[in-house]
Amino acid sequence: MSLKQTLLETISRRPLIIDGAMGTQLQERADKIPQSAWEGLEGCNELLNVTAPAVMSDIFHAYLTAGADLITTNTFGAFSWVLDEYGIGHRAYELSRAGAAVCKTECEKFSTPEHPRFVLGSIGPGTKLPSLGHIHYDEMYAGYLECCLGLIDGGCDIFLLETCQDPLQIKAALHACEAANKERGTTLPIMVSVTI
């Protein structure tokens, strides 16, 4: 049975529970994040996938303990064109892959045949919208593709396009997910949440 079929079969029997917000969980653990982990780039949460993986594991562990079925990676803005704002656009693949890997490790600890747990690869809208002329479609697509490849390589189970608001942004992200699946020979399902 494919993952998509497993999800549909499970959801026909019971609700699937997704975890909660990442930002507030990081704020609650601010005293556990060493200042050095920010590498002088405070606010770049995706950096913590590499510099503070224990903090990330603690967040995922808490959601899994509470019974969540779907755990979201800390990769909401892990695209070159967002990370370029911090001067680390070249680290997009690394941070995406690490974000999926640390989440996958925790999910595997909790997953059973009766209650599987799934890694949702978080793909946010970023800080620029193509419909408003902030970014060219091709640049957005390339950044999303790099992120998607990192998510697959890190063990992601499902792509989650989060808080989408621009049809062109959604199109670029969907095309990137499909291209990444094709490039890696995978068939990760795609979920989309839209904010109006």
- Tens digit of each residue's pLDDT (9 = 90 or more) over 91-131: 999 999 999 999 999 999 999 988 999 999 999 999 999 99
Among candidate residues 89, 170, 160, the one with its CA nearest the CA of residue 131: 170
pLDDT at 94: 98
pLDDT at 7: 87
**Confidence grade of residue 34 (pLDDT, cut at 50, 70, 90):** very high
- Give pTM, 2 decimals: 0.96
**Confidence grade of residue 142 (pLDDT, cut at 50, 70, 90):** very high
Which of these ranges, 1-10, 45-54, 62-71, 148-157, has the smallest mean pLDDT? 1-10
| Both structure tokens of 61 | 């562990």
Which of these ranges, 4-8, 67-71, 115-119, 145-149, has the smallest mean pLDDT? 4-8
> What is the pLDDT averaged over residues 181-189?
97
Q: What is the pLDDT of residues 112-123, one digit of tens each?
A: 988 999 999 999
pLDDT at 128: 93
- Residue 4 neighbours by CB under 8 Å, 6+ apart: 187, 189
> What is the pLDDT averaged over residues 58-87?
97
- Residue 123 three-state SS: strand
* Cα gap 13→115, rounded to integer Å: 12
pLDDT at 134: 94
One-letter identity of residue 145: L
What is the fold, at CATH topology level, of the domain defined by 46-194? TIM Barrel (3.20.20)
CA angle 94, 74, 111 (to 5 degrees): 100
Q: What are the domain boundaries of the chain?
A: 46-194
pLDDT at 3: 85
pLDDT at 4: 83
pLDDT at 8: 86
- pLDDT reading at 1 higher than 80: no
pLDDT at 74: 98
